Amino acid sequence: MSHESRGSDFDIGPTIRALRLERGMTLDQLAAAAGISASHLSRLERGQAEPSFTVAAALAESIGVSLSELVEQATN
């Protein structure tokens, strides 16, 4: 059995970006709130990196959603 996709079956970055923009937050504001660098957040939003569980949870909390809501929105 071959697995063609590597990593997850969804890209959480665009969901993070959309929620950030809906809340009127800048990249710098969300990065600071989540305790990560703006450059790392930018890579996440563009799908060039995947967040660790800890970073995903911090981002979700910082934009006012649960981690499960964030993942659910990213898979829809």
Asked whether the beta carbons of 63 and 51 are under 8 A apart, the reply is no
CATH 3.30.465.10 fits 13-75, yes or no: no
Counted residue by residue, the chain has a size of 76
Other beta carbons within 10 angstroms of residue 33's beta carbon come to: 15
Would you say residue 1 has pLDDT above 60? no
The more confidently predicted of residues 20 and 1 is: 20
Amino acid at 51: P
Burial 47-56 (b: 16+ CB within 10 A, else e): eeeebeeebb
Would you say residue 2 has pLDDT above 60? no
Q: Domain boundaries in the chain?
A: 13-75
Other beta carbons within 10 angstroms of residue 60's beta carbon come to: 23
pTM given for the model: 0.84
Would you say residue 28 has pLDDT above 50? yes
Confidence of residue 59 (pLDDT cuts 50, 70, 90): very high
